[in-house]
Amino acid sequence: MDVLFLIVVLGLRTFVAEPFSIPSSSMYPTLKVGDYIFVSKFGYGNYDLFGINIYNTELYAEVERGDVIVFDFPRNVRLPYIKRVVGLPGDAIKIENKTLFVNNVAVPLLKESETEDVTYLREELNGVSYQVTHQKRQNRNMPTVTVPANNYFVLGDNRDNSNDSRYWGFVPEENLLGKLVYILSAGR
């Protein structure tokens, strides 16, 4: 019975849902360092178990702007990353004066609060509303880039403190591991 239980648990972890721990503040305030998350893997086609590739299929889950996804980092596929999808294949993405533009349309921002160094804003993309932060003393513009077929453009919610598509490029479809479905944190 113990072997059967182990096979079921490993099967669920490989093909259905996998837990991850958040190691950095790049997705703050949505995710905090030390948060545990559960990621739905079903339909993403990249089925790994403890970093070992078990099985691959084509992507048949629908990836949408605003989704928080886990993926194999394109420069080191043994390293899982988590970011927010802001650009789908064919989208034109630009950042100007801290405002994200998708297909030449500014993504709405509403200022919620601020400290001496940080501004907290509410951003709404594709009907998904979430909080982002901007450092007051930084302003990194990005010229327009077009997302290639079978790729995605991702950003961290901690916009000025995130290693994301602005610096290393697009996330290939085959690197997607799954979508954030649940956050578990003792501090919430």
Predicted pLDDT at 48:
72
Q: How far is CA 20 from the centre of its chain?
A: 13
Predicted pLDDT at 185:
78
Contact between 178 and 39 (Cβ < 8 Å): yes
pTM check: above 0.95: no
From the list 21, 24, 25, 26, the catalytic residue is 26
26 is catalytic: yes
Predicted pLDDT at 163:
94
Predicted pLDDT at 14:
67
Helix, strand or coil, per DSSP, at residue 159 = helix
Contact between 81 and 162 (Cβ < 8 Å): no
83 is catalytic: yes
Q: Output the CA angle 97-67-89, nearest 5 degrees.
A: 75
Phi-psi region of 45 (alpha: psi -120 to 50; beta: other; left: phi over 0): left
Tens of each residue's pLDDT in the chain, 188 residues: 687 766 766 666 666 668 888 999 999 999 999 999 989 888 777 777 777 777 677 877 899 999 999 999 999 888 899 999 999 999 999 999 999 999 999 999 999 999 999 999 999 998 999 999 999 877 778 999 999 999 999 999 999 999 999 999 999 999 999 999 989 875 55
From the list 83, 162, 165, 179, the catalytic residue is 83
Predicted pLDDT at 7:
72
Phi-psi region of 149 (alpha: psi -120 to 50; beta: other; left: phi over 0): beta
Predicted pLDDT at 42:
81
Task: Report the Cα–Cα distance between both ends of the chain, in Å, rounded.
Answer: 37
Q: Which CATH class is domain 2-184?
A: mainly beta
Q: Which two tokens stand for residue 127?
A: 């009907």
